[in-house]
Amino acid sequence: MVLTIGDDARIHKQVRFLHGEKNEIRIGDRANFYRGTEIMAPVTIGDDVFINRDAYIRPQTTIGDRVNIGPFVRVVTDTHDIGPHDKRAGAVRHDAITIGDGSWIGASATILGGVTIGAGSIVAAGSIVTSDVPDDVVVAGVPAKVVKKLGK
């Protein structure tokens, strides 16, 4: 099993890491994860990342440095190919998600597979992100749309 946790990390004992011999979870220095979070490999998490309680992070996720993730956030890379009439949920796949450095993901937000969140951006609480988010913006809504541009 491959789980690498950086220096000075504070990981609550109720955080679940699901990984195997070939799938790695890498966590940077000074990470701070609250209880109830579940992370399924492969996942890479940068330095100084804060994850509040009960986050759900699926395979093929990359989280940059200094990212804050609110409680009950879902980072869902899982999807299915469209199958035939008798079973529309075809083969499972994991479309990668990247969360850029310095971003803030608000409480109960959902980020769907194939999305990149730009550096320094904010995803408002309760939003569902279905497409890429540029750097330094606030997105909100269902589906999430840019509602404000931020300075650097």
pTM for the model: 0.95
Q: Rounded to whole angstroms, how far apart are CA atoms 35 and 52?
A: 8
Cα dist from 135 to 14, 43, 99, 121, 122, whole Å:
33, 22, 10, 6, 9
Asked if residues 110 and 73 have their Cβ atoms less than 8 Å apart, the reply is: yes
Q: What is the CATH number of domain 2-149?
A: 2.160.10.10
User: Model confidence over 17-59: pLDDT tens digits?
Assistant: 998 778 899 999 999 999 999 999 999 999 999 999 999 999 9
- Backbone torsions φ then ψ of 33, nearest 5 degrees: -120, 125
Per-residue pLDDT of the chain (152 residues; tens, 9 = 90+): 589 999 999 999 999 999 877 889 999 999 999 999 999 999 999 999 999 999 999 999 999 999 999 999 999 999 999 999 999 999 999 999 999 999 999 999 999 999 999 999 999 999 999 999 999 999 999 999 999 999 88
Asked if residues 126 and 106 have their Cβ atoms less than 8 Å apart, the reply is: yes
Polymer length in residues for the chain: 152
Q: Indicate if 80 belongs to the active site.
A: yes
Residue 21 confidence (pLDDT): 76
Domain boundaries, the chain: 2-149
